[in-house]
Amino acid sequence: MAQEIERKFLVDTVKLAKLTGGKEIRQGFIPTSELTVVRVRISGDDAWLTIKGKNEGITRSEFEYVIPKLDAIDMLNELCLEPQVMKNRYCVEYCGYTWEIDVFLGDNKGLIVAEVELEHADDEITLPEWVTQEVTDDPKYYNVNLVRHPYKNWN
């Protein structure tokens, strides 16, 4: 079984170099219980169906499958919660790790988070100077929760 081990941080955009070469991501979530996430994602010509288990610390099980883009479009339009989550993703290499910086759009415009995927939950990483508060454990930053409680409605 694949595992996703990930830490998530807010970003100080003043300290961040200009981002280039991003990929637009459109994703939605099939309504499930809180124990599982079923995500449909499109980026460019590619699409994926991803099942994620419950978070245990910064680790969760993850099962990801490439699917036809037309299936993904149908599932996003017919089966997923509204609104869909739109973001541009930029990859930045830093001290041996690839950081993914998500610049959200639409109802989540203004929100920018940086994620780094680890091999082991206790891997020590050097934080870039442009990350600030860690939000790994804060459910409001889970993408699935950005559908029902988008950033524009946060206080």
Which H or E run includes 146? helix 145-148
By the rule CB under 8 A, 93 interacts with its own copies: no
Distance CA 4, CA 14 (A): 29
Give residue 18's identity as a one-letter amino acid code.
K
Two structure tokens written together for 72: 């993904």
Q: Which of residues 34-63 bind its own copies (CB under 8 A)?
A: 35-36, 38, 49, 51, 53, 61, 63
Number of residues interacting with its own copies: please give it, by CB under 8 A. Answer: 21
Distance CA 10, CA 121 (A): 19
By beta-carbon proximity to its own copies, the closer residue of 109 and 149 is 149
By the rule CB under 8 A, 70 interacts with its own copies: yes
Question: Which range of residues in 17-25, 27-35, 105-113, 145-153 is near its own copies by CB under 8 A?
Answer: 27-35
DSSP labels, 117-139? E-SSTT---PPPTTEEEE-TT-G
Minimum distance from residue 74 beta carbon to its own copies (Å): 4
Peptide bond between residue 128 and the one before it cis (omega within 30 degrees of 0): no
Minimum distance from residue 33 beta carbon to its own copies (Å): 4
By beta-carbon proximity to its own copies, the closer residue of 75 and 131 is 75
> CA Rg, the chain, in Å?
15
User: Which stretches of the chain bind its own copies, using CB under 8 A?
Assistant: 1, 30-33, 35-36, 38, 49, 51, 53, 61, 63, 65, 67, 70-71, 74-75, 78-79
